[in-house]
Amino acid sequence: MPADARTTKPRRRGDALTGAIYLATLEELARTGLEPLAFDRIAAVAGAGKASLYRRWATPAELVLAALTDPLTGFGEPTPEPGTGTLRGDLVELLTGLARVLEQPHGRALRPLVAQRERHPELHARVVELVLAPRQRLLLRVLERAVERGEADPAAVTPRVATVGPRLVLTEHDHRGPVSAAEVEAIVDEVLLPLAAPRKRA
């Protein structure tokens, strides 16, 4: 057997190739932002032929959206409601999950898209629709369940309140890097629970 035949790696195909392309897309997006993102560079990182990208996606933005919403390399569907039985437990579980995601390729790739929303409004709108909005609805459902148990005030069930926790986790990550479990608990205990607590009414 010729030496080159023994050392040549088999080319990835099907799902394996798609996964490699998606991962390369997310890693490059996190590293460079959207403007420098190009099929040629993604193909080189993924070990794929450029033609395989050009055949399947019209633009890098279309590929980014596919990678972000993929259930294996991206966000996929939101996780089920935590169901810990308490508002504190549910919030800690969800925000701990967010903190972990921010250390993964799809979490890192999300940051430049949010930061550059004015430059790419159409892509940002799709990211909001397919990635961010479903997770906001999950937080709203957690707040609704807490109202039913008497743990939260009905006035707290608003999109603005539902975004407070994720924003604080993102801010902490920007300023200090990985968000610890203790920091997540502090956000929940010091900010979110007081914000959502039932209010006394005359």
Domain match, 108 and 168 both: yes
Please give the structure tokens belonging to residue 65.
């959206």
Q: Give the model's pLDDT for residue 79.
A: 83
pTM for the full predicted model: 0.85
Residue 24, domain CATH: 1.10.10.60
Domain match, 94 and 192 both: yes
**Each residue's pLDDT tens digit in the chain (202 positions)?**
444 444 334 456 678 899 999 999 999 999 988 889 999 999 999 999 889 899 999 999 999 999 999 999 999 888 889 999 999 999 999 999 999 999 999 999 998 888 888 888 999 999 999 999 999 999 999 999 999 999 999 999 999 999 999 999 999 998 999 999 999 999 999 999 999 999 876 5
Domain match, 98 and 46 both: no
Q: Give the model's pLDDT for residue 1.
A: 44
The SS3 of residue 48 is coil
**Sequential DSSP letters for 80-112:** PP---SSHHHHHHHHHHHHHHHTTSHHHHHHHH
Domain match, 139 and 178 both: yes
Query: 17 lies in which domain range?
Result: 3-60
Domain match, 121 and 183 both: yes
Domain match, 117 and 27 both: no
Q: Give the model's pLDDT for residue 4.
A: 44
Domain match, 105 and 33 both: no
Indicate the number of domains in the chain. Answer: 2
The SS3 of residue 154 is helix
| Residue where one domain finishes, among candidates 14, 41, 60 | 60
Residue 65 lies in a domain: no
Domain match, 53 and 144 both: no
Q: Give the model's pLDDT for residue 201.
A: 65
Residue 70 lies in a domain: no
Residue 159 lies in a domain: yes
Residue 118 lies in a domain: yes
Q: Give the model's pLDDT for residue 6.
A: 41
Instruction: Report d(CA 63, CA 97) in Å as an integer.
Output: 25
Residues near 36 by Cβ (< 8 Å), separated by ≥ 6? Answer: none
Residue 69 lies in a domain: no
